[in-house]
C-alpha cells in the first residue's frame, strides 16, 4: 500500500507479502462492501482468507453508520467469451498476456473462443489450448470452446462427444454466423445430448453483407455501409424457432441449450423473453461496450450511451475527437443509445444472463486501416469492469445485478459445475476466487496499465472507475495493483 | 501569407485539413468561395505570389478519376506547386501496401500537401493522422467530397446570385444513399441557408429522413419519394450519377425504369421547375439520369461546374497552405 488510500490490510505470514501465482497465506480485508451473487446479499463486512480459502465472513449490522466503503469484494468474474489468439497469432494475444489481462480485469475464468489457427475442432487442439493455458503460469482458469463445424466452415459437424470429453465448455463457430438452420438444428440436438450449449452470433448475412457499422444516423452521415438491427432480430427469432423444434423432438431427458452471444439490438430481447416464458433453454450475453458505448462513438462522440440517449450524435462539431476510430468497429456493431438503454434494462430484469468481455485483441497493422478494412473487435478484458461500473453509476443497473452478470450468470449459462468451476459465491470454506476493486478509484487506460497485447480500443487515454486491487483465482494471487506493494 | 493576387489572405482560417465541409461555418464557406472568386478572376494572370511555390502536392487516387485529379493538379500548378500523382492501378497500394505506409512514403519523398481519393469512407481521416502536412479529401467512399460541394455552391452563387440563392430551393435527385457528393452538399447547402430537397428511388433515400430531423435548428432538408414535389419550383436541380452496378440489385430499378421514372427530362422541368438550372457532378450517364438534350441544353451548368473546380480547389489549397505555413 503506497498512500494509505486503500483500506486493505494485507498480511502474509510467510514472506511478508503476496507473490503472483502464489497461494494466499493470509489476507484480511476489513470494512469493505461485500457482494454475494448467490444469496443476492450485499453490504459492509469483512473477509479473511487463509491458505487460499475463505475462512471468515462477517457482515456488519445493517445499522452500521458512515459512508459505504468504496472497496468491493465479490467473486472473481467469469468471462463467457473472449478471443485469445493462441494458437496461431500469439503476437496478438497469447495465454500468458491474455490471462494477465483477464486478471487485471478481475476475471478468474476465461472461456476462449475456437477461432484460432488451427481451429479448435479436434481433441488434440483442445489439449494444446489447455496446455497453453496451464503453461502461462496464471492461476486464472481457462477452457476453450470447440467449433460447431470442422474448420468453422459451416459444412460438417465437429465430433462433439470427443471434444466434450477433452474439456471444452461448449460449441461455437463465432465470430462466424451459424447461418444454416439445418446445421443449427443438428448441433442443438447433438450438444443437447451432452448437456452443452451451442453459442451463436445471431445474424442474417443478406442484411449485413459488407457492413461497416450499425445502420443508423451515424452510418448515414459517415457514409458507412449499415448492418440493420433486423439482421440480428430475425436471426434470434429463427434460432429460437429451431430450438423449439429441437426441444420438442429430443428424448425427455435431453434439454437443448441455445446461448445467444452479444445481443446488441433492443428488438432481440422480445423473442428471448418469449422463448424463456415457453420454458426453452435460452441464455444470452451482452458485451459491456454494447451497454456504455453507442454508434455515435464512430463519429467522435465520447459520451456514454445514457448521456447520448436524449441527444444522439448528429454530426461532428469542431474540436471533437476524430471520427472513424478503428477501435469502434465492432461486430455486431455499436448500436444506437436507445438500444444500449434497453440492454441495460434487460440485464437488470434478468433477461440477459451474462456480461461478456468479447475480448478481441488485434495487431496494430490489422487495425490501422481505413475503417471498413480494419479488423472488427476491441481489446476489452481490462475495460469491461470500468464500463459496467459506469453503467452502475448511471443509476440504471444495480451493483448486485452487475456482479451477478459477471459471475453467477455466466457460471449458470456454462453449467459451471460440469466444467469443475466453483460456484461464484462468498461462502466460508470455499476456495478463494475473488476480485477486490475500488469503485471510487479511477485509472487511465494506457500502455502502463494494459496487459493485453491488443491496443485496439477507443478507450485508450480514458479514465475508468474500478481500479482492480487484487484478483484471486484458485486461492492464488492472479493480479495485484502495481501501487500496492 | 498572401494569396495568388498578392492581396492579404483572409485571416482566421484555422483548419489544418479539408476532410469535409461539415464543420465549416457559413463565414468559413464564404471565405473559401470569395477567395475562389478572386482566383477565378486572376487565374489568367501570371500572379506575383505563389503560395505553393516549391511545394510538392501529391495526389493519391485509390479509385479511378480523371477530372477530379486533373482539376487538383491544375490548381496546384496554378499556385506554383509541383503536383505528383499516384494512381491506384500502378501504385504500391494495389500491391497491398497499407494506406499509412503509402502516405508516409509520399511524405518522405517530399510531398508537403496530400490529395486523397479512396473507396473507403474515412480513409482521408486516417491519412491525415499520419501525414505531416495538409490533407484534402478528393472523395472517400459514400462519405464526403468537400471540394465538389464547394464548387457546387460556388456555381450556384455565380449563376443565381446571392439574393436569389437566399430564398432558393435546390433539389438533389437520385442515388443519395451511395453519394458522397450528396452528403457534402447537404452540409454545405443547408449551412448556406438553402432549402434542400432530396428525392429518388426510396431504396436510395434510406436513413436521410432521420438525418433531416436531426439537423441543427435553422437548416432545411426535406426528403420525399415524390419526384415532382421534390423538383417543384426549384432554382436548381442536381442530378446524381447513378452507378450501373447499383441498379438492378437489392430492389433498385433497372436502368430503363430509372430513366423513365427519375430521368430529368426537359418536359418535366418545364412543367415543374421552369426556371431551374441543371447540375451534375459528372460524369453523366446520358439517357439515364439526364437526357442528352438537357445535359447539353441551356439549363445545364455542368461545364461551368467543371471549370469552377480549379479556382475552388486553388482557394482550398491556398487556405490550407496558409494555415499550415
Quote the minimal CA–CA distance from B121 to chain A in Å.
6
Rg of the Cα atoms in chain A: 21
**Is B279:B151 a contact under the CB 8 Å cutoff?**
no
Contacts of A211 in chain B (CB under 8 A): none
Average pLDDT over residues A431-435: 98
Nearest CA in chain A to B184: A221
B210 touches chain A (CB under 8 A): yes
**Is B56:B111 a contact under the CB 8 Å cutoff?**
yes
Count of residues for chain A?
485
Binned at pLDDT 50, 70 and 90, residue B2 comes out as very low
- What are the tens digits of pLDDT across the range B84-98? 988 666 566 656 678
Q: Residue B7: its pLDDT value, please?
A: 46
Closest by CA to A55, choosing from A16, A18, A29, A20, is A29
Average pLDDT over residues B194-216: 97
Closest by CA to A121, choosing from A86, A94, A145, is A145
Binned at pLDDT 50, 70 and 90, residue A1 comes out as very low
- What are the tens digits of pLDDT across the range B298-312? 999 999 999 999 999
Q: Residue A103: its pLDDT value, please?
A: 98
Q: Residue B250: its pLDDT value, please?
A: 65
B211 touches chain A (CB under 8 A): yes
Q: What angle do CA B287, B291, B295 make, to 5 degrees?
A: 120
Please check the confidence at residue A93 and state whether its pLDDT lies above 60.
yes
Taking all residues of chain A, what is their mean pLDDT, rounded to a whole number? 94
How are beta strands A53-59 and A71-75 bridged, if at all?
A: unpaired
- What are the tens digits of pLDDT across the range A341-387? 999 999 999 999 999 999 999 999 999 999 999 999 999 999 999 99
Binned at pLDDT 50, 70 and 90, residue B49 comes out as low
Whether residue A231 has a cis bond before it, omega within 30° of 0: no
Q: What angle do CA B274, B275, B279 make, to 5 degrees?
A: 105
Average pLDDT over residues A467-478: 97
- What are the tens digits of pLDDT across the range A212-252? 999 999 999 999 999 999 999 999 999 999 999 999 999 99
3-state secondary structure (DSSP) of residue A437: strand
Quote the minimal CA–CA distance from B126 to chain A in Å.
6
- What are the tens digits of pLDDT across the range A144-154? 999 999 999 99
Average pLDDT over residues A78-89: 98
Residue A84: C-alpha distances to residues A93, A120, A145, A366 (Å): 6, 12, 11, 16
Helices of type H across A136-250 = 160-166, 181-193, 205-208, 217-222, 229-249
The answer to whether the CB atoms of A371 and B126 lie below 8 A apart is yes
The answer to whether the CB atoms of B141 and A223 lie below 8 A apart is yes
- What are the tens digits of pLDDT across the range A279-337? 999 999 999 999 999 999 999 999 999 999 999 999 999 889 999 999 999 999 999 99
Q: Residue B1: its pLDDT value, please?
A: 40
Q: Residue A15: its pLDDT value, please?
A: 53
pLDDT above 70 covers a percentage of chain B that reads 89
Closest by CA to B279, choosing from B241, B246, B243, B242, is B241
Quote the minimal CA–CA distance from A448 to chain B in Å.
23
Report pTM.
0.95
Q: What is Dmax (Cα atoms) for chain B?
A: 57
Output b/e per residue, A217-243; b: 16+ Cβ within 10 A: bbbbbbbbbbbbbebbbbbbbbbbebb
Binned at pLDDT 50, 70 and 90, residue B4 comes out as very low
- What are the tens digits of pLDDT across the range A386-402? 999 999 999 999 999 99
Q: Which tops the pLDDT comparison, A66 or B293?
A: B293
The single residue of A358, A415, A483, A485 carrying the catalytic annotation is A358
Handedness of CA B33, B35, B38, B40 (dihedral sign): negative
Q: Residue A20: its pLDDT value, please?
A: 82
Quote the minimal CA–CA distance from B50 to chain A in Å.
29
Of the partner residues B98, B120, B183, the one whose CB lies closest to the CB of residue A371: B120
Average pLDDT over residues B180-207: 97
Least confident of A469-478, B9-18, B58-67: B9-18
B215 touches chain A (CB under 8 A): yes
DSSP A359: B
Binned at pLDDT 50, 70 and 90, residue A12 comes out as very low
Q: Which of B122, B131, B140, B323 to mutate to test the interface with A (most CBs of A within 10 A)?
A: B122
Q: Residue B244: its pLDDT value, please?
A: 77
Q: Residue B46: its pLDDT value, please?
A: 52
pLDDT above 70 covers a percentage of chain A that reads 96
Taking all residues of chain B, what is their mean pLDDT, rounded to a whole number? 91
Beta strands in A122-163 (DSSP E): 141-144
Q: Residue B243: its pLDDT value, please?
A: 82
The answer to whether the CB atoms of A317 and B23 lie below 8 A apart is yes
Q: Which tops the pLDDT comparison, A28 or B47?
A: A28
Catalytic residue flag (residue A358): yes
- What are the tens digits of pLDDT across the range A18-61? 778 899 989 999 889 999 999 999 999 999 999 999 999 999 98
Q: How far apart are CA A246 and CA A256, in angstroms?
A: 7
Q: Which tops the pLDDT comparison, A156 or B251?
A: A156
Please check the confidence at residue B6 and state whether its pLDDT lies above 80.
no
**Is A104:A74 a contact under the CB 8 Å cutoff?**
no
Q: How far apart are CA A374 and CA A326, in angstroms?
A: 6
How are beta strands A281-287 and A257-260 bridged, if at all?
A: parallel
The answer to whether the CB atoms of A371 and B143 lie below 8 A apart is no
Binned at pLDDT 50, 70 and 90, residue A405 comes out as very high
Nearest CA in chain B to A209: B250
Cell, residue A157: 459437424
The answer to whether the CB atoms of A217 and B118 lie below 8 A apart is no
Least confident of B50-54, B227-231, B306-310: B50-54
Cell, residue A159: 465430433
Amino acid at each position: 500500500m503506497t498512500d494509505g488510500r486503500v483500506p486493505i490490510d494485507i498480511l502474509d505470514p510467510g514472506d511478508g507479502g503476496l507473490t503472483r501465482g502464489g497461494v494466499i497465506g493470509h489476507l484480511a480485508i476489513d470494512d469493505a462492501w461485500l457482494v454475494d451473487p448467490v444469496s443476492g446479499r450485499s453490504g459492509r463486512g469483512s473477509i479473511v482468507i487463509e491458505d487460499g480459502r475463505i475462512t471468515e465472513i462477517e457482515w456488519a449490522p445493517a445499522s452500521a453508520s458512515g459512508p459505504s466503503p468504496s472497496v468491493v469484494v465479490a467473486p472473481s468474474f467469469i468471462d463467457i467469451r473472449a478471443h485469445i489468439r493462441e494458437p496461431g497469432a500469439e503476437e496478438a494475444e497469447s495465454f500468458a498476456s491474455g490471462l494477465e489481462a483477464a486478471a487485471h480485469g478481475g476475471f478468474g475464468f476465461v472461456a476462449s473462443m475456437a477461432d484460432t489457427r488451427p481451429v479448435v475442432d479436434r481433441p488434440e487442439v483442445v489439449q494444446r489450448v489447455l496446455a497453453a493455458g496451464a503453461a502461462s503460469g496464471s492461476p486464472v482458469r481457462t477452457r476453450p470452446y470447440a467449433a460447431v463445424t470442422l474448420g468453422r466452415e459451416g459444412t460438417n459437424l465437429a465430433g462433439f462427444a470427443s471434444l466434450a470429453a477433452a474439456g471444452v465448455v461448449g460449441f461455437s463457430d463465432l465470430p462466424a454466423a451459424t447461418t444454416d438452420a439445418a446445421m443449427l438444428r443438428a448441433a442443438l440436438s447433438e450438444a443437447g445430448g451432452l448437456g452443452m450449449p451451442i453459442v451463436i452470433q445471431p445474424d442474417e448475412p443478406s442484411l449485413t453483407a459488407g457492413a461497416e457499422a450499425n445502420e443508423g444516423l451515424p452510418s448515414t452521415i459517415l457514409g458507412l455501409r449499415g448492418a440493420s438491427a433486423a439482421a440480428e432480430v430475425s436471426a434470434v427469432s429463427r434460432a429460437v424457432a429451431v430450438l423449439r423444434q429441437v426441444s420438442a423432438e429430443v428424448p425427455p431427458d435431453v434439454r437443448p441449450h441455445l446461448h445467444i452471444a452479444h445481443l446488441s439490438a433492443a428488438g432481440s430481447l422480445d423473442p428471448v423473453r418469449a422463448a424463456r416464458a415457453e420454458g426453452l433453454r435460452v441464455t444470452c450475453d451482452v458485451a459491456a461496450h454494447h451497454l456504455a458505448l453507442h454508434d455515435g462513438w464512430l463519429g467522435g462522440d465520447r459520451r456514454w450511451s445514457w448521456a447520448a440517449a436524449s441527444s444522439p450524435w448528429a454530426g461532428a462539431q469542431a474540436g471533437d475527437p476524430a471520427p472513424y476510430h478503428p477501435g469502434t468497429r465492432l461486430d455486431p456493431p455499436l448500436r444506437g443509445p436507445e438500444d444500449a438503454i434497453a440492454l441495460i434494462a434487460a440485464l437488470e430484469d434478468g433477461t440477459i444472463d451474462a456480461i461478456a468481455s468479447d475480448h478481441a485483441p488485434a495487431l496494430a497493422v490489422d487495425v490501422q486501416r481505413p475503417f471498413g478494412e480494419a479488423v472488427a473487435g476491441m481489446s476489452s478484458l481490462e475495460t469491461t469492469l470500468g464500463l459496467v461500473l459506469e453503467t452502475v453509476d448511471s443509476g440504471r443497473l444495480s451493483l448486485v445485478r452487475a456482479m451477478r452478470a459477471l459471475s453467477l450468470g455466466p457460471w449458470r449459462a456454462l453449467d459451471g459445475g460440469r466444467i469443475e468451476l466453483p460456484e461464484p459465491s462468498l461462502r466460508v470454506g470455499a476456495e478463494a476466487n475473488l476480485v477486490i476493486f475500488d469503485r471510487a478509484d479511477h485509472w487511465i487506460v494506457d500502455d502502463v496499465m494494459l496487459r493485453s497485447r491488443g491496443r485496439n480500443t477507443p478507450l485508450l487515454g480514458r479514465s475508468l472507475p474500478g481500479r482492480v486491487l487484487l484478483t484471486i483465482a484458485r486461492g492464488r494471487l492472479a493480479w495485484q495493483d502495481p501501487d500496492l506493494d | 501569407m498572401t494569396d495568388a493576387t498578392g492581396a492579404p489572405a483572409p485571416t482566421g482560417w484555422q483548419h489544418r485539413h479539408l476532410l469535409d465541409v461539415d464543420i465549416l461555418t457559413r463565414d468559413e464557406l464564404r471565405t473559401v468561395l470569395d477567395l475562389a472568386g478572386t482566383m477565378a478572376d486572376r487565374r489568367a494572370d501570371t500572379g506575383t505570389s505563389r503560395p505553393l511555390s516549391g511545394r510538392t502536392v501529391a495526389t493519391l487516387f485509390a479509385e479511378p478519376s480523371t477530372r477530379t485529379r486533373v482539376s487538383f493538379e491544375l490548381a496546384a500548378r496554378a499556385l506554383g506547386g509541383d503536383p505528383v500523382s499516384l494512381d491506384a492501378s500502378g501504385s504500391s497500394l494495389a500491391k497491398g501496401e497499407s494506406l499509412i505506409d503509402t502516405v508516409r512514403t509520399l511524405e518522405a519523398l517530399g510531398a508537403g500537401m496530400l490529395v486523397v481519393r479512396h473507396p473507403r469512407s474515412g480513409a482521408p481521416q486516417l491519412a491525415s493522422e499520419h501525414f505531416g502536412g495538409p490533407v484534402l479529401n478528393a472523395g472517400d467512399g459514400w462519405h464526403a467530397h468537400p471540394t465538389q460541394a464547394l464548387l457546387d455552391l460556388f456555381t450556384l452563387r455565380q449563376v443565381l446570385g446571392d439574393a436569389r440563392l437566399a430564398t432558393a430551393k435546390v433539389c438533389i435527385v437520385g442515388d443519395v444513399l451511395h453519394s458522397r457528393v450528396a452528403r457534402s452538399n447537404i452540409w454545405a447547402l443547408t449551412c448556406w441557408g438553402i432549402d434542400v430537397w432530396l428525392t429518388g428511388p426510396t431504396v436510395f433515400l434510406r436513413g436521410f429522413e432521420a438525418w433531416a430531423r436531426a439537423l441543427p435548428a435553422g437548416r432545411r432538408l426535406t426528403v420525399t419519394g415524390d419526384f415532382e414535389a421534390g423538383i417543384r419550383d426549384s432554382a436548381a436541380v442536381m442530378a446524381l450519377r447513378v452507378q450501373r452496378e447499383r441498379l438492378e440489385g437489392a430492389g433498385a430499378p433497372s436502368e430503363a425504369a430509372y430513366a423513365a421514372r427519375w430521368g430529368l427530362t426537359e418536359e418535366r422541368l418545364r412543367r415543374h421547375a421552369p426556371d431551374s438550372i441543371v447540375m451534375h457532378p459528372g460524369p453523366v450517364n446520358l439517357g439515364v439520369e439526364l437526357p442528352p438534350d438537357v445535359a447539353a441544353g441551356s439549363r445545364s451548368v455542368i461545364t461551368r461546374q467543371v471549370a469552377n473546380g480549379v479556382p475552388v480547389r486553388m482557394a482550398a489549397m491556398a487556405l490550407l497552405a496558409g494555415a499550415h505555413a
